[in-house]
Amino acid sequence: MRHFPRLRSGHGSYGRSFSSRELLYEGLRLQRRGDAAGALQRFGSAGGGPEPPQVAQAAHNAAGLLLRRSNGVTGVTDASGSCARCERGERVLAPWAEDGFDYEATVEAVDEAAGLCTVAWADGGETCRVVPCAAVTSLDGRPCFFQTGGEQRLWAARRFLRRALLDWQQQAEAGVAHDAFVDFAGVAADLAAAELRVALSTSFSTWPGMELAQSLLRRGAFTAERAYAPDPRALAALFSAKAEAMRFETGVDLKELQRLHLRVRDHLHAATWKREPHWVSFGGTLRWETLHQVMWAKALVHVAVFADREVGRAPKASVGRNLPRHGRAAKRRRRGAVAGMSPVRRSVWALPEKLLPAPRGLPRGPDPLLAVRCCARQGVLRAWRALLWAAGRDVQSFRLPWTYSCDSARSLALELPKTRIHSELMLEVAVLVFAMGCRLGQASRSRKVALQLLMVAQSRASDETLELVQHGVELLTPQAARFLGRWQLLGYRPREELWLLRRRKRCRNDTGAAVAALPGPPPCSWMLEGVALAELLP
């Protein structure tokens, strides 16, 4: 176990007697203990110290991730914890929509009902003058307007990650950036995820968060792919964020979405990580491969809802059965044809990614889920695989979740660690299992398995997700779901993570609720974040 340097006893404050490096490690130690407010305070002080830009980048990156992951933790509101009321004529810092960075401006008008603020830029610019109130800060970094619903926290996390990107530019100018650009790719992926969350949660509909995220990902991929030896860790983080951003676009190329996840899978298998588990959150830890399985499952169910037409002709047998063994069809299956797209080779890398060493192969042998042609079935199986991996089970064969008994599903849920992130994982898997069960005509059997997961998650859920879990339990209980076997999937809203279900009436006098909404965890809950922080921290 790695020990971080401790602050000397007898000092209640942290000033010039402690270096930025010591403050950074002290913040990481406090975060591991559960003191999110103290850790955020240390990170803010370490980012403004006279140390090299590598330490400032790590501090700002850690502060941005902590702000996002500590949602619902008491005592954490922002970098300062207080608001500076800004009236008309006050000088503030506001983000410019053209590039996303903060610039000095003067407040001209405030519409608190709409949550918008009109500013006059200090350089005299006349574009993008209307900005969200939650994004405006004073010159010393304090938020100017109090906002509820977590939007202010998302903007604060975005500001820290923007500073980390500026710190990397200083490293590049000094010639101390990583040769494989893992530091830049990691910060770009984290900042793109922050831009996506802001764009999906802000009330300002014209804020170009999606465009800013796509621009960051293109820049990161252009830089990382042209390195002398492209690092698969960096490419996995970039392409996973790009695939997640594509799900929220209109008219998305679903074949390209699937190819991106194949590339992420190969990069994860070729990567060499420092520690296990890699992804560290304030509410728990998960492996990179487990996170990717959840993201891949959500992409597959997205295809199943919006493009898949193979549901009616999907094989009824379990995975691996009744597959052709001879002929051209067998060759296409063995190549790993993906649902909803033409057969592709196992490796879909393009130059200069071919400069990477050949992947070591799947850690558990060939992936049997690639043989499943139905997107709905494959998505459910990948979500269930993520649950099995999170519980520490290393299995070679997979069964559909609704083939499990209630006792087996409950025992699997009880094997998961009692952390916030695992309760959110149970909520995600339960929602996907029931939604796809309704689509495949297995609503009654999938309800029983999903209900067992939700009941275990209810006893472990945080304040942030407790209401979502309770709503799912109330919807899936036998008393409220007397005719649940007749429910069918009506639609899916990816920007809200909301599944719409409709119950067909049993008879004319049936007066039950015809439509119900089943929400999952918030959008972008599963992202490959913190690559630069976990792999390049000094």
| Minimum mean pLDDT range among 44-58, 90-104, 324-338 | 324-338
Model pLDDT, residue 148: 58
Model pLDDT, residue 321: 43
Model pLDDT, residue 85: 67
Model pLDDT, residue 211: 93
Torsion (CA) 516, 518, 524, 528 in degrees, nearest 10: -150
Averaged pLDDT for residues 355-383: 73
| Minimum mean pLDDT range among 75-84, 322-331, 342-351, 418-427 | 342-351
Strand, helix or coil at 443?
helix
Q: Is the pLDDT score of 423 beyond 80?
A: yes
> Which of 216-230, 270-284, 439-453 is most confident?
439-453
Model pLDDT, residue 278: 55
Tell me the torsion sign for CA atoms 524, 161, 210, 221: negative
pLDDT, greater one: 455 or 465: 455
Secondary structure (DSSP) of 106-148:
EEEEEETTTTEEEEEETT---SS-EEEGGG-EETTS-BSS---
Q: Is the pLDDT score of 406 beyond 80?
A: yes
Model pLDDT, residue 310: 42
Read off the pLDDT band of 356 (50, 70, 90): low
Percent of the chain whose predicted confidence (pLDDT) is above 70: 76
91-138 — its CATH code? 2.30.30.140
Q: Is the pLDDT score of 71 beyond 90?
A: no
Q: Is the pLDDT score of 471 beyond 60?
A: yes
pLDDT, greater one: 225 or 85: 225
| Minimum mean pLDDT range among 141-150, 191-200, 374-383, 393-402 | 141-150
- Give dist(CA 242, CA 214) in Å, integer: 7
* Residue spans per domain, the chain: 91-138, 376-522
Q: Is the pLDDT score of 359 beyond 60?
A: no
Tell me which residue of 523, 505, 525 sits closest to 514, measured CA to CA: 505
Q: Is the pLDDT score of 503 beyond 80?
A: no
Looking at residue 320, what DSSP letter applies? T
pLDDT, greater one: 353 or 483: 353
- Give dist(CA 155, CA 159) in Å, integer: 6
Q: Is the pLDDT score of 316 beyond 50?
A: no
Percent of the chain whose predicted confidence (pLDDT) is above 90: 32
pLDDT of 508-522, one tens digit each? Answer: 555 555 788 999 999
Model pLDDT, residue 346: 42
pLDDT, greater one: 340 or 282: 282
Q: Are 389 and 287 in contact (CB under 8 A)?
A: yes
Model pLDDT, residue 272: 80
Q: Is the pLDDT score of 325 beyond 70?
A: no
Averaged pLDDT for residues 1-6: 37
Q: What is the pTM of this model?
A: 0.83
pLDDT of 94-143, one tens digit each? Answer: 999 998 999 999 999 888 788 888 999 998 889 899 998 888 888 887 78
Q: What is the CA radius of gyration of the chain?
A: 24
Looking at residue 2, what DSSP letter applies? P
pLDDT of 155-210, one tens digit each? Answer: 999 999 999 999 998 888 888 887 778 889 999 999 999 999 999 887 777 788 89
| Minimum mean pLDDT range among 311-315, 382-386, 429-433 | 311-315
Tell me which residue of 182, 186, 197 sits closest to 229, measured CA to CA: 182
